[in-house]
Structure 1
Amino acid sequence: MSTPDDRRYTDQHEWALVQGTDGTSTVVRIGITHHAQDALGDIVFVQLPEVGAQVAPGTAIGEVESTKSVSDFYAPVAGTVAAVNERLADAPETVNSDPYGEGWLVDIAVPGEGGDPLGQLLDAAAYQALVDGS
């Protein structure tokens, strides 16, 4: 699977995609990459944060449990959890089958509008180089 170039990435294998603005903040959708879900194996449970939780970049905000291990996932931006993918409670395997689409994890509302809340993250080429080097 190719690395989509419409989003940004962390070195911890999360992706972030701007969804739009709501008048006071920029909403950023977060998920884990194809590389991450492939390394985890069959995902059997996803623990998501509470809507309304404040998150800081680089902090663990949930867990993805597979038949192999349990791994934290991290907030790539600061803000407030605006939504969680509730469908994952009944179908956590969606993260395996569609990590860049229906397998998203959370939406984070980043305060303020304008600017680039994802500017410090890796672009697709840099992320792919990271993966290829590992």
Structure 2
Amino acid sequence: MKKLGLALAALVALNVSAFADLIVINKKDLVPVSASEMQNKYFQESIKPIIGQPLFKKATFYEADIVAKVDPRTYNSTQAIIQKIYSDKSNYVYYKQVLILTSDGKRAKLSTLSCEIASFDKKGYLCGGTADHNYSIK
């Protein structure tokens, strides 16, 4: 629970200056998140805190695989963290790594969306995301 709270705080703290001097990703190389994934209730719950931010009100979501090509070190390190933290199915019901483009389409952040089991919540889970790394879009 504490991890999720910290992750949500990191999302709130994100601002435009965090995108300066970044690795560039070509927009034509991006693959949109599938429509079925976008309809997933856990995906929908996970993105609520993100799209509530002014910079991401009209965000678009893409598969994170492109990051493996343009920034393999970051991709590999985030994958290792994902395997360590989210592999315990007794704590998490959902996780997905995505690339989230800002409303203006010029910047993006690599983010891990997740839903943690929370017995104290009436839904039974608590969702959010982490801001793992930022990129510039060309």
Both structures adopt the same fold (TM-score exceeding 0.5): no
Please classify the TM superposition score into its range, dividing by the shorter chain length.
under 0.3
In proportion to residue count, which structure has more strand? 1
TM-score, with length taken from structure 1: 0.28
TM-score, with length taken from structure 2: 0.27
